[in-house]
Every structure is written in structure tokens, then in C-alpha cells.
Structure 1
């Protein structure tokens, strides 16, 4: 083989290597049809919201439930329920005619929550394990879906949100409470959050910054359609950082 031909072959190999998609071995097989998130992911848990008494002293849960318009008889989902701070308070708010589905991927947390539900005799609460890329919610079942101080831990947001989209009843809402800081510091910038939800078929409905919730409240409705997985345009972290979220946000 001539030197020129060898160099040409090497260049072709380099070009093909550059065109190869990023390795997917570290991703769940069920998530590989969706874009990879362009952001770091927080590890589970944070000591910023450690005690229920501190949260109650700030009137956190009541503030969030009031903003979300939670009423008796509603069906709600508490995603990333943990040991049930919101689960038990939602159960009281929706009453005997309402339903609460508590979901988490942490089996130990769900077992502790199950003991709490049994002890408090919360007959309107069900508990269900989820997956990192799928909340596993029944379709057209919920008036409200809550993700409180946990969305930044979702490692496959596009698959997760795409599979959450059908769970809302007509007129249902998705509520995200989080902190305006980087995703590796147990928060997510609002512009990036909004971009990720809009990418899979949601639309921002309300936005509030409230000291009672130690962060911000973002509420979304399902758009008229959701894209097919291959049609999802992923959000770029640098672009989202440079965007001004507040100009596009409703509320205060």
C-alpha cells in the first residue's frame, strides 16, 4: 500500500470513529432510544430539606398544595416520595374520596413509607416502585403529578418525562419544586427544566419563586402532542445557562 493510500485509510478510520454515537453501555437499554441528558445528575438525597418540622415551620407543603390547587377528591402522584413527607399531607388534603400514588426507585424508602402508611391508616394511599427512566404511572389517571426536590436526580429525563406524559387526566398538571442551581448541587436552573419538559410535550403553565418552599415552583400542562422519541431535540446545558428564564415565565 502506498503512503498516500495508507494516510487516506487512516483518515477514513478517524472520520468514522468521530461519527460513531457515544457509547451506550452505561445507560439502561429501555432509555437508549431517547437522547442522553446534557447535564450532570445529583446523587440521591440532600440534607437541605432534612426535617419535616423545619419544612412545616416554613409552611412548605401547604404552600405547594395551594399553588397546585389540590382539592378533596383529586387523584395525585408523588414521584420520588421518599419516606412520605408530601404523601401523607397530600392524602389528608385529597381526603377519603381522593387517591395518592407514592412512587420511588428506592426500595428501602418505600418499605419505610409503607410502614408509615400502615401506622397512620392512610387507606387512600398506594405505593409503587418506579424505574430511573419510567415512573410507571397508569394512563389518564392523575389530576396532579408532583416531583418535589427530586427532578435533578432523574438520570434519563427525556425517557422519564415522555413516559409520564400519558398519565395526566385532561386538565391535569405536573408540578416541579426545585432549587435554582446546578444539577450536581441538588437543583436545576429553571431554563433547563423548562427546556427538558417542553422537549417531550409539556408547556409551562405557572412559575413562582417562594421562600416557603426553599426554591421555585413550576407547573406544566401536557401539550397537544408529544414527539416520537427519535424526534426529541435535547437541551444543551450551555445554551440553557445562557438563557433568561424569567422572561418566559408566568407568575411571580
Structure 2
């Protein structure tokens, strides 16, 4: 067979491998297109100093978890994600609140912290709790799965908030809320000014639903819902907050 004809045959064979038998779908799947670059946060980022915000006895004395769960309207049967779960103060109490018909997914970005929390969950036989490892810019939550996503005293530690919030958005069920508890102070001082928090959420297509001072939790509680279409990363406009 002439070389030119042989080359043509090889090309036809390769094309056939990429097409399905009925010619409608490729047999070899191409990698999903990755989103474009996200804008950088125009603010300092707090260092992660501990997996514990305060000791559990003191927090319970102030009814911190109870007040937050009430403010977030967390009810039996809900599915809740606890982001930055640390030692599991909220995870344990959320498991009791949502009950056997609910689910809690506890996540941290440090393998050792995740493993310690997994041991605690197993020791206490919390069958409605799962523990997993997240990434600094991606909580890796399954889509359309959560009634509430809880972020307690950790938002100011997120170095890439726009990417994080963008990737988290699809995980909310219809009517689902993101619940943020933080202190009203600058991010280097381990807090997030409310105006900055609202601006960063709105930049990724969320709307603030509520905002309440919550001294028992060391600051405030804000809730957000996803509205409209998720913006393309290149269309996200970073916030400029003078107080930072």
C-alpha cells in the first residue's frame, strides 16, 4: 500500500476511535474545561492559628452553638455542611440538631485535623456525620446537596474568597443558605467587616438574607442565598473596601 494511502487510513482509524458507534458521542472523553482565572482578594488574609476558636465548655456556657443554629433556622432532617470544622464543636451539635433523618458533612483542609475529627465522630458513633478533606480554594461539596453551609470564624482565613464562593455555590439546594459567623473587625485581626463580607458574596451572585449581631458567638451571624446565574470568573469584580 502506498505511504500516502496508509497515512490516510491511520487518520481515519483515529477518527473512528474518537467517535462512538452511532457517531454521536466520543469514546475518549476530553477533560472538562476549567474556569478562567479568578480575581485576587484586595485584602489581607488572616493566618490560620488554631483549629479551635475557644474551648467547648465556655462556648456551651454562652449557648453559642444553640444560638447560631437557631439563627440559621437549622431543623431536624436538614443536610448541613460544616466548613472548617476543626475539632468538631459544631459538627457534634449539628448532628444532634438535624437528627437521624438529617446529615452533616464536616470538612477541614488539614489531613491531621480531618483524621482527629473522624476519630471523634467514630468514637461518639455519630452515624449521620461524614468527614472529608477540602481544599483552600474549593470546599469540594456535592452539587444540590445542602440546606445550610456553615462557616464559623474561618471566612477571614480564605485566601481566594471569589473562587471558594464560586465553587461552593452549586452545592446549595433550592432555598439553601450559607451561614457565616465572624467578628466585626479587619481580616488581619481575625474578622471580616460586614460590608466586605456582603460585597464579596454579592460579587459571586449571592444575596444577603439576614444579618444579626451575635455576641455569644463572638461577633455576628449573616446568611446568604444564591440568586440568578453563577457569573463567569472573568466577570467577577473584586471588592475595594477602604477599611482594609
TM category (shorter chain) comes to: 0.7 to 0.9
Query: Quick one: structure 1 residues 233 and 133, their matched pair in 2 at CA, closer, same or farther if it must change by over 3 Å?
Result: same
Out of 108, 132, 140, the residue aligned to residue 112 of structure 2 is 108
For residues 31 and 38 of structure 1, what CA distance do their matches in structure 2 show?
20
Out of 72, 82, 87, the residue aligned to residue 83 of structure 1 is 87
Query: SS of 1:35's equivalent?
Result: coil
**Which ranges of structure 2 fall in alignment gaps of 5 or more residues?**
1-33
Query: Quick one: structure 1 residues 222 and 47, their matched pair in 2 at CA, closer, same or farther if it must change by over 3 Å?
Result: closer
Quick check: 1:176–1:217 contact (8 Å CA) kept in 2? Answer: yes
The residue aligned with 2:137 is 133
Out of 212, 226, 229, the residue aligned to residue 216 of structure 2 is 212
For residues 42 and 106 of structure 1, what CA distance do their matches in structure 2 show?
16
For residues 39 and 115 of structure 2, what CA distance do their matches in structure 1 show?
32
Count of aligned residue pairs for this structure pair: 211
Structure possessing the higher radius of gyration over alpha carbons: 2
For residues 48 and 204 of structure 2, what CA distance do their matches in structure 1 show?
24
For residues 50 and 70 of structure 1, what CA distance do their matches in structure 2 show?
22
Query: SS of 2:165's equivalent?
Result: helix
Query: SS of 1:93's equivalent?
Result: helix
Alpha-carbon distance, 1:137 to partner:
0.2
Alpha-carbon distance, 1:213 to partner:
1.1
Query: Quick one: structure 1 residues 46 and 180, their matched pair in 2 at CA, closer, same or farther if it must change by over 3 Å?
Result: farther
Out of 62, 69, 73, the residue aligned to residue 66 of structure 2 is 62
The residue aligned with 1:162 is 166
Alpha-carbon distance, 1:41 to partner:
0.7
For residues 47 and 187 of structure 1, what CA distance do their matches in structure 2 show?
15
Query: SS of 2:229's equivalent?
Result: coil
For residues 72 and 35 of structure 2, what CA distance do their matches in structure 1 show?
30
The CA RMSD over aligned residues, in Å, is 1.6
Q: TM-score, normalised by structure 1?
A: 0.81
Alpha-carbon distance, 1:42 to partner:
0.8
For residues 45 and 32 of structure 1, what CA distance do their matches in structure 2 show?
31
Quick check: 1:175–1:220 contact (8 Å CA) kept in 2? Answer: yes
Quick check: 2:36–2:234 contact (8 Å CA) kept in 1? Answer: no
The residue aligned with 1:236 is 240
For residues 92 and 194 of structure 1, what CA distance do their matches in structure 2 show?
30
Give CA deviations for 1:152-209 in whole Å, capped at 9, x if unaligned: 0001000000000000000000000000111011101000010000000100000000
For residues 31 and 146 of structure 1, what CA distance do their matches in structure 2 show?
25
For residues 189 and 144 of structure 1, what CA distance do their matches in structure 2 show?
22
Quick check: 1:133–1:159 contact (8 Å CA) kept in 2? Answer: yes
**Which ranges of structure 1 fall in alignment gaps of 5 or more residues?**
1-29, 243-252
For residues 32 and 110 of structure 1, what CA distance do their matches in structure 2 show?
30
Alpha-carbon distance, 1:211 to partner:
1.4
